[in-house]
Amino acid sequence: MGDKQEKINLLTPYKMGKFDLSHRVVLAPLTRQRSYGNVPQPHAILYYSQRTTKGGLLISEATGISDTAQGYPETPGIWTKEQVEAWKPIVDAVHAKGGIFFCQIWHVGRVSNTGYQPNGQAPISSSDKELTPQLRANGIDVARFTPPRKLSTDEIPLVVNDFRLAARNAIEAGFDGVEIHGAHGYLIDQFLKDAINDCTDQYGGSPENRCRFALEIVDAVVNEIGADKVGIRLSPFASYMESGDSNPKALGLYMAESLNAYKIVYCHMVEPRMKSVGEKVECPHSLVPMRKAFKGTFISAGGYDMEDGNNALAENRTDLVAYGRLFLANPDLPKRFELNAPLNKYNRETFYIPDPVIGYTDYPFLDSKEIKTT
């Protein structure tokens, strides 16, 4: 057993700042669209606690920071007292099983339309460029977006403050920390990427200017809750929601180096091979330069299986590996890795349905017979 355990790098302990992790398998942030009216629901207690192990790190689904942050149906928020109270029993259930739980805080920016916005106003962004209609994950429906309104320079501190307040609320709800969502074409990424950002003030143009908004948010959140409770997710190479960049490697490296000044506990980056949702391609780029530049814990995500994750750890390309679809379909994923047990197949058609059970809490665990015979 000892020899076998040594080979499963994913199941070795790791110290992430003040947190003692028992293994390196992280639950990636996964939008599930089951928070009716933007309020987390009791069925999320079972969903998250199913995926909790003692000393395991979980990152919540993307959680809106304000009433302007919405762009998808039934996604949770953390800007009202009701939402904070609704999160508490969910967080408590994770803690009861010894898990470490970070809340991913989020603003969609232009990935929205007037139907999601207060008073039917235009979504906000770093540009007034309209996002073209996108085929939804089910491959049938088409999402349509309203032309956004470019934020003025004096409005930006208000949005930064919304992130700060959301972080404070997350800690009040009992979360161990927050992950700032700076990836996948949402508001922060809309500032980072030159395919979108066309600001002509101090928030646009050079990489330093385009990164200013993200780093101001990091600074505000760190000052509010402490650097030891703050992580960030970035996807410099991804082009989700038309968020490409002309020099993603330089952008990622600049962010990784700049984050060191704030001493945040982790940087969570998405592999360049993930070009679109669920599509893994070979790519000449690498996260290694960013991993080397960032001084805290480095988390990699992007279509990993067990072998990929073990190899990334063996080659010191990352400290932790985030799993999304595999963890969604296998609530006992670390145990399955330990036993090299077969994995449940995920059903993409149930990723975003509002049902409180189907495709959510009904994926089977290994039964005791399988565990004994594996």
Identity of the amino acid at 310:
N
The closest alpha carbon to 321, from 340, 307, 336, 339, belongs to 307
Instruction: Give the torsion sign (CA, 63, 64, 69, 75).
Output: positive
3-state secondary structure of 219: helix
**Tokens 């072998």 label which residue?**
307
CA distance 308 to 67: 39
> CB under 8 Å to 279, separation ≥6 — which residues?
none
Cα–Cα nearest to 167, from 259, 65, 265 = 65
Are the C-beta atoms of residues 103 and 178 closer than 8 Å to each other?
Answer: yes
The amino acid present at 188, given as its one-letter code, is I
Dist CA 324 CA 320 (whole Å)? 13
203 is catalytic: no
Cα end-to-end distance, the chain, whole Å: 13
Catalytic residue among 116, 186, 346, 352: 186
Q: Scanning the structure block, which residue is given the tokens 């992430």?
A: 16
Helix (H) or strand (E) run with residue 156 in it: helix 156-172
CB 315 within 8 A of CB 292: no
For strand 142-143 and strand 134-135, is the pairing parallel, antiparallel, or unpaired? antiparallel
Whether the CB-CB separation of 102 and 90 falls below 8 Å is answered with: no
* Per-residue three-class SS string for 64-129: ECCCCCCCCCCCCECCCHHHHHHHHHHHHHHHHCCCEEEEEEECCCCCCCHHHCHHHCCCEECCCC
Catalytic residues: 186
